[in-house]
Amino acid sequence: MLFNRDLSWLGFNFRVLQEAADENVPLYERIKFLSIFSSNLDEFFRVRYPSVFAFSKLKPKTQVKASVGFNDDIPEKMQNEINRQLNIFGSILVEKIIPGLKAHGINFYYKSQIREEHLSQIRDLFLSNVLSFIQPLLLEGNFEQRFIPENNRLYFVVTLKSSDQVTIRNAVINIPSNKLPRFFVLTPLDNEEYVIFIDDIIRENMICLFPGSEILGVYSIKFNRDAELNLDEEYSDDLLNKIEKQLKKREFGPPSRFLFEDGMPRNVQLFLASVFDLQFEEMFAGGRYHNLSDLSSFPSFDKNLKYPKRRALNPVEGMHRGDIFNVLNKQDILLHLPYHSYNPVLSFFNQAAIDVDVTEIFITLYRVAADSHIVNALIGAAKNGKKITVFIELKARFDEANNIRWSREMKEAGIKMIYSLPHIKVHSKIALVKKGSGKESLNYAILSTGNFNEVTAQFYTDHLLMTTDLSIIEELAMLFKFLQTEYKENAKPKLKFEKLLVSQFNMTEKFERLVETEIKKALLGEEALVRIKINNLEEPGMINLLYRASQAGVKINLCVRGICCLVPGVEGLSENITIKRLVDQYLEHSRLFIFGKDDTAEVIMGSADWMTRNLYHRIEVCVSIKNVSLKKELIDYFQIQWSDTTKSVELSAALEAKPPEQTENAVNAQQSIYAYLNTHQ
């Protein structure tokens, strides 16, 4: 029994939308949640929507459909849910956010009449700032060879009547929000601020673009295009060049959603469907403004309408002396981001780059910051004569271009680069530093649930372990050696990992054994407990194992942020399984697995979700935590999140979100974790 993954994901995105509606959330943070919702939905249409409709074309009796929770009515349910959420989105923006801004002296021109005092300023902005970036094109003649709308770019379709009052023509105009700000701040009036879309600056001056013609209609449009890269996995050519070529194609790939302004006449819709070769299921009526992910850049007027900044905690005593390796020689370090400062991680790589005793650095990179301090440290280390080996995943979706740019810079600096493996992604977040040589050698390792990215570390929750544990380091060295060899899917070396759980080698088997141990406890009448915190739960084998554990009497607490295909609370199948979803200020990103209870519990952290792709088509790394105090920290961390009564919801058998029972003393997990870590540093 499986719940459909795409409907489940839409449930997660609705939970994001609920934060935008929550009046207890600061106003600008609510605007941010609207932006995240919109961005998520765009990605859904680029990544999932094309495959959903391709899947729906399979024969009705295909067993594969039932095995992944897919019924023939799923596309219709999906569309109805998307429409429902978009209507709620519009209501929140128009009825809650815009009046909220007005109450703080910020007027947002949103489908509203522009004050006469601003018209001349808008004309000046159009002529001096905007016009040079606009390219009007008539949709006629040999059009298809001249112009194809790019993915996620904004356009107007304009219907014109020529000066002869007979000829009707359609033109397309780009809205240059990729070159200019989406929002412009206008001159304050009556001590109040005013903000306008670049879209409306163009609308107000449309006549300047078509002098002599009568404008019959102006309609905003945009395309989402299929984002999947169609790469030949038997890489015979240079992978960088191949992916770069595919990236250029992707912006003009097959359309997955054509979004047009509601109210566009049917004849114009049909004309555009013909011009752009669109199918009915690819066309969606929308609002006046598209790409509302741009709300993330809505102008701030220092109105104190955001979350107050928390001081990042420093868990590492002695770090002020700047010697991270000295600290690690005495103790392991466990960071809980973003509550803890990311400085120990930056210090780790910066110090390794200049330490004369450091000889080698190994690291896997999946998503790195655009101006990465870590990569710059690696480049500096290479220039200092150290041997640097970097595995960079060029197939990290939507980060391919950034990764390619950095890979070129690192290669030019003399870093040994390893680029992607055929048939598989390397998603692990691991690093290894070798210091000294021979008997005096010391090695240091990092294993993380999140990317080596100092930007996302400010708002993603992750756990990061820094250690000198010899057995962990030996196994990491073995894995890095493997990553440098030619990967053959049907002839993997038989590497043996004990401390590490590595997908492709021992990860699923280890998780299965741990669940089986709890099943045996339950059958003997002992208390059995499984606690898991992940982003996504989709892999059928692991779900069925949890069902079997529930049937045996194992109590299972799952904190699943996003996709969840397991159906909880079904009598005789999953009545011992409880699932919660937590959405708050920070993005819940860590993966944590706890089997058993108290001091005997097995505690594991790492990069892997329980999805088919993670367990079978990626290199993921998890690590078992043996340090007693660090184990307790992670167990306490989970329990604090599980106790949340303000931002978590419990999923029902229909995967509907039920708010937690309200208690006299409300618990906000993210605030409580910060307080807990503050007292334990």
User: What is the tens place of the pLDDT at every residue in 115-146?
Assistant: 999 999 999 999 999 999 999 998 875 554 56
Q: What's the pLDDT score for residue 252?
A: 61
In terms of average pLDDT, the best of 163-167, 365-369, 372-376 is 372-376
Q: Answer yes or no: are the C-beta atoms of 319 and 42 closer than 8 Å.
A: no
pLDDT band at residue 236, thresholds of 50, 70 and 90? very low
pLDDT digits (tens, 9 = 90+) for 85-102: 999 999 999 999 999 999
pLDDT digits (tens, 9 = 90+) for 478-512: 999 998 886 655 556 778 999 999 998 999 999 99
* pLDDT at residue 246 greater than cutoff 70: no
Domains for the chain: give ranges and CATH numbers: 1-110 (1.20.58.310), 129-288 (3.30.1840.10), 319-485 (3.30.870.10), 501-680 (3.30.870.10)
pLDDT digits (tens, 9 = 90+) for 600-646: 999 999 999 999 999 998 899 999 999 999 999 999 999 999 999 99
Q: What's the pLDDT score for residue 375?
A: 94
Q: What's the pLDDT score for residue 171?
A: 93
587: left (phi over 0), alpha (psi -120 to 50) or beta: beta
Q: Answer yes or no: are the C-beta atoms of 224 and 42 closer than 8 Å.
A: yes
Q: Which residue has the higher pLDDT, 213 or 110?
A: 110
Q: What is the mean pLDDT of the chain?
A: 88
In terms of average pLDDT, the best of 46-60, 586-600, 652-666 is 586-600
* pLDDT at residue 652 greater than cutoff 60: yes
Q: What are the CA-CA distances from residue 592 to residues 29, 463, 534, 588 (Å)?
A: 27, 9, 7, 11
Mean pLDDT in residue range 167-176? 92
Output the CA torsion sign for 267, 268, 274, 277.
negative
| Residues 6 or more apart in contact with residue 431 via CB below 8 angstroms | 348, 349, 361, 362, 363, 364, 445, 446, 452
pLDDT digits (tens, 9 = 90+) for 503-518: 989 999 999 999 999 9
**How is residue 8 written in tokens?**
């489940």
Q: What's the pLDDT score for residue 148?
A: 81
pLDDT digits (tens, 9 = 90+) for 531-584: 999 999 999 999 999 999 999 999 999 999 999 999 999 999 999 999 999 999
Alpha carbon of residue 445 to chain centroid: 26
Q: d(Cα 465, Cα 461) in Å, to the nearest integer?
A: 14
Mean pLDDT in residue range 443-471? 96
* pLDDT at residue 271 greater than cutoff 70: yes
Q: Answer yes or no: are the C-beta atoms of 315 and 333 closer than 8 Å.
A: yes
Output the CA torsion sign for 91, 92, 93, 96.
positive
Task: List residues with catalytic annotation.
Answer: 427
